[in-house]
Chains A and B, each alone.
Chain A
Amino acid sequence: MAALRWRCMEVGCDTVVTAPTDELLVEAVTAHAREAHDSYELEEVILAGAEDGTPDEEKI
């Protein structure tokens, strides 16, 4: 069950990343930013934008 949820703010991208821990969330968001947008999100930015997740959220 995911505990953390992060929504990508790139225009036209509605991806929601969920992960059970801070470390795994940072890893998953970093991979998403690199693969989908040829870019990065900073670790502190990811953690600052993370919210409590819910089990039925879309996952990547």
Chain B
Amino acid sequence: MTTFEEIRPVETRFRLDQEIMAGPIYRKYEKAARTVWDPKQLDYEPDAADWERMTEDQRAGIAMITVRFEAGEQEVTDELLPMLAAAHALGRFDWVMYISTFMQEEARHSQFFTLWHARVAGLLTPAEKAAYWPLREHTVDPHGRFKVGEPVYEGLPKYGKQLQNAVDSGDEVAIERAFVQFATLYCAWVEGVLTMPSYEIVIDTTELWDVLPTLRFGFRRILSDEGRHITFGTQSCRILIERNPAYAELVHKVIDEYRGNAVGMLEYQRNVPGLDLDKYQRQKVRHYLNRCREMGLTADDSLVAQILDPEIDFVVGVEAG
């Protein structure tokens, strides 16, 4: 008769050791555990008063970004599970511990935006929020060279499904490949480059207009959390790429698939009055080069040149709603 000890030796039941606890991913877990914040404890009254005083253009410019964030945070909360399953399948317990905080933080960000819309902007229903959502199809490259995709609503479910299928297959190489693709899209490209201008736009404009202190506070707290998400993704990719350098090509391919989303400013990012859009393009390049450095990869110079090329920009053809 097989004993329980033979099925699962006692020594294998302990996952957390001193080496793991000294590592960079475990450190992120500890930091996340120390920096929990509660959106329900924030004071939304000053923002509500500001909202009443703001012009309709100012409100629309901000709301076009915040409704994207609310939905985006909910989407990523809901699409993160395959990454956790993959960390488990790869036997990386420090990654499992960290991703548990990552998921909770995305849920907290979802809560923050839902509360802010309800208490400040009076946006309660999906229809009220959708009225501030210009469709992605309305952003076009007038020269037809680039296509703007939906990395969050099309890409993450696609790569998440591939990752889950790899986990189900039990094939370690397949899991590692799919993990690199998912982490590249989610952490390095969406969180680490594409959404960065939106944070800066909200922080810059609310400072300039001296309004919405709670929204600005929330964005800063979210950015602090995102810093861990981004660098978890890039550091875990680096670990896997160092094991198998062929994975580097996967990173470039995923980014190339959504190259169009970086070469111009998107519809919801260009409606705030008075912005210097070139500043945010330059910063996208800096963020991209940071991600490459963190992953130990050589940057794609043609992508950098295209992001900075003033001849490449998009037009927005149709108003929101």
Interface residues of A (CB under 8 A from B): 8-11, 37-45, 47-49
A43 CA / B304 CA spacing, docked (Å): 24
B200 CB contacts on chain A under 8 angstroms: 39-40
Asked if A11 meets B28 with Cβ closer than 8 Å, knowing A39-B200, A42-B223, A44-B231, the reply is no
Which of B14-22, B38-46, B239-247, B288-296 lies at the interface?
A: B288-296
CB of A9 within 8 A of CB of B28, answer no
Looking at the complex, which one of A9, A38, A39, A42 makes contact with B227 (CB distance below 8 Å)? A42
Residue count of chain B within 8 Å CB distance of chain A: 22
Q: Is the CB of A11 within 8 A of B290?
A: no
Q: Is B235 an interface residue (CB 8 A)?
A: yes
Question: Once the chains bind, are B227 and A43 in contact (CB under 8 Å)?
Answer: yes
Instruction: List the B side residues contacting A48 at CB < 8 Å.
Output: 231, 234-235, 294
The docked-state distance in angstroms from the alpha carbon of A40 to that of B308 is 19
A residues near B286, Cβ cutoff 8 Å: 8-11, 37, 39
B residues near A (Cβ < 8 Å) are 28, 200, 223-224, 226-228, 230-231, 234-235, 279, 282-283, 285-286, 289-290, 293-294, 304, 308
Shortest A21–chain B CB gap in Å is 15
The verdict on A11 contacting B293 (CB below 8 Å), with A37-B283, A44-B28 known, is no
Chain A interface, DSSP helix/strand/loop, else mixed:
loop
Q: Give chain A residues whose Cβ lies under 8 Å from the Cβ of B227.
A: 42-45
B290 is contacted by which of A37, A40, A43, A45 (Cβ under 8 Å)? A45
Report whether over half of chain B's contact residues are helix, strand or loop; otherwise say mixed.
Answer: helix
CB B280 to nearest CB in A, in angstroms, measures 9
8 CB contacts below 8 A, A to B, read A9-B285, A11-B285, A37-B286, A39-B200, A42-B230, A43-B227, A44-B231, A48-B234
User: Could you tell me if B293 and A49 are in contact, using CB atoms closer than 8 angstroms?
Assistant: yes
Given A42-B223, A44-B228, A45-B290: 18 more A-B contacts, CB < 8 Å: A9-B290, A10-B282, A11-B286, A11-B304, A37-B286, A38-B279, A39-B286, A40-B200, A42-B224, A42-B226, A42-B230, A43-B227, A44-B230, A45-B227, A45-B230, A45-B294, A47-B231, A48-B235
Residues of B near A9 (CB, < 8 A) are: 285-286, 289-290, 293
B282 CB contacts on chain A under 8 angstroms: 10-11, 37
* CB contact under 8 A between A49 and B283, given known A11-B308, A39-B200, A44-B227: no
Which of chain A's residues has its CB closest to B295's CB? A48
